[in-house]
Homo-oligomer: A and B are copies of this chain.
């Protein structure tokens, strides 16, 4: 752990803080768009953190053991960009001048992928919840890899959060869990400026935030004057000392500080100050009124000390790791594999090409999922994951592993409690941290709705967690419509960059897991509660990897009709095919576990599976019909659910809601005029 460097002169502090402030103000003004109020108010705390505590290496932004900094209040993005530029990241003054312009490195909200940006923020509550994932990853990796004398994983996770972040329920969930897990190296600076976008916080947010965080088991520290760099610095030092509890530092700030006509009000929040007010603000804070993007040399030099410091810290860590590697070669190799962000060789050595032979005992895909997950997890020591209090149902526990807890920090099964939204945001943090390979979450599919914001962000960032949803249709049965997903499949498939996989039997489940592991972006695995028959396993793994394939060819040549389906309804299509054969109708069954993977195939493969000349097509899926026209075309028939489900034994529900092989047979005959 670092100790605070000797204290700089107050004048240099002020100069440096104002440099941050006016880079932000000028950039917002030039873009004529953005949020000046947060950088003006929060610059001192950010300055204290970045110059006195943050262990990072601007010239090596992905150094594993850096402290993580997350601007949860992403609308204050210019605060972060100013810090990144000033401390020497690859972000020029010209980049700052392109704030919020198309294709710039300084988009409206911080975007993962830009140097020094740990996670995409903007949707409130996400960043602070990601941070819980970062801190969790650190705790797990530290316990897993550190050995006496070798704290190769040892860093803090810092957050600046706003009132909006703390109003959002996802942060409540994540914070409760962080307290429960005693993630003591998580430190949140709360920019407590008493102003939200539309009004003072008095209009909506009068709870006792500090008491709430104390109730979560956090250390809570108050900073009465957010402009007092020393007071903030002391608070951070105190926060770091308590490694048993996460810390909330409530920093009382003034939004838009310095703006004579707008500070302390929501007028400073979400729009440029205006040219005249910019001048008045500069005047008020003793800044050259007409200078734009002005960076005093002393301030720059002071900030750029981060470059040498960072190089030194990383070099020290490299030395440490070298010795660690000599003393603990196996562990070091595991560490390097974990941080390589690649699947280790042999990860699928125990994943059978055939989990079950054709005609073997009917198996729920959630159960096959458990076998596949465990076959994979045994080869990837830092693959971890968990569920929202449904492990007995989702079947996603790693065998032989206890639950990760405040006292067991190497356990690989995570328990999120009934907190789906935080689970999603935390898994994003676990993924982003590095060192964790393919973390996964699990809950019932209807509750994917609770997790959509982080699923979207995973897609936007292009990171690769695996989201498992079981109980994937009216096949849930007795629990009824609240627990039976209908529109969730369509809603998930509609997200850009996602890969959704809904396997049809135990063998397709193996293929689905394999495909999910091989995606760089996020995957969604969708499994049944109910048991499904097992079909011929030949070619299934490859078929699934291509998204859709011929599950059963029409007997006797060119098909008259194509039967398209996914998951549990493939068995209905198979039964319909046999029934149609009795009437001399040749039906091909196409299993389409992943529309996204299928779209990525070349046209010749797609046309081979779904020949354009065959327009008689029947699709069946126990879900919303929304989206199926892409595959059935204008002339096909879609057997699906334009309604919610119903409570009852699942076979009865399928029957009453018309999701049957008989319906497929009738539709096929009608299409063929027979």
Query: CA–CA, A421 to B629, complex, Å?
Result: 32
Output the least CB separation between A485 and chain B (Å): 10
Output the least CB separation between A146 and chain B (Å): 25
Contact A100 B422 (CB under 8 A): no
The count of chain A contact residues (Cβ–Cβ below 8 Å) is: 114
Contact A649 B203 (CB under 8 A): no
Take A172-B169, A173-B172, A415-B199 as given contacts and tell me if A206 and B211 are in contact as well, using a CB distance cutoff of 8 Å: no
Query: CA–CA, A481 to B483, complex, Å?
Result: 31
| Cβ contacts A72-103/B at 8 Å (1 or 0 each) | 00100000000000000000000000001111
Residues of A within 8 A of B (CB): 31, 33-34, 74, 100-104, 107-109, 111, 120-125, 163-164, 167-173, 176-177, 179-180, 196-199, 201, 203-212, 214-217, 270, 387, 389-393, 403, 405, 415-422, 446-447, 449-450, 452-453, 456-457, 459-460, 477-483, 486-487, 490-491, 493-497, 612, 615, 624, 626-627, 629-630, 633-634, 641-644, 646-649, 652-653, 656
Known: A33-B477, A494-B494; 4 extra A-B contacts, CB below 8 A, are A101-B652, A120-B482, A270-B393, A450-B453
Query: CA–CA, A562 to B173, complex, Å?
Result: 49
- Complex contacts, A393 vs chain B, CB 8 Å: 197, 270
Contact A391 B198 (CB under 8 A): yes
- Complex contacts, A478 vs chain B, CB 8 Å: 31, 33-34, 100, 108
- Complex contacts, A125 vs chain B, CB 8 Å: 418
- Complex contacts, A495 vs chain B, CB 8 Å: 486-487, 491, 624
Contact B480 A198 (CB under 8 A): no
Contact A646 B198 (CB under 8 A): no
Contact B629 A419 (CB under 8 A): no
Take A479-B108, A626-B494 as given contacts and tell me if A204 and B100 are in contact as well, using a CB distance cutoff of 8 Å: no
- Please tell me which one of the listed residues B109, B197, B642, B652 contacts residue A102 in the complex, with CB atoms under 8 A apart: B652
- Complex contacts, A420 vs chain B, CB 8 Å: 168
Take A652-B102, A653-B102 as given contacts and tell me if A109 and B419 are in contact as well, using a CB distance cutoff of 8 Å: no
Contact B176 A168 (CB under 8 A): no
Take A122-B480, A172-B173, A483-B122 as given contacts and tell me if A647 and B206 are in contact as well, using a CB distance cutoff of 8 Å: no
Contact B197 A180 (CB under 8 A): no
A492 (CB) vs chain B CBs: closest residue = B491
- Please tell me which one of the listed residues B209, B486, B630 contacts residue A215 in the complex, with CB atoms under 8 A apart: B209
Output the least CB separation between A191 and chain B (Å): 14
Query: CA–CA, A102 to B652, complex, Å?
Result: 7
Take A169-B168, A629-B630 as given contacts and tell me if A415 and B208 are in contact as well, using a CB distance cutoff of 8 Å: no
Query: CA–CA, A422 to B450, complex, Å?
Result: 12
Query: CA–CA, A198 to B206, complex, Å?
Result: 35
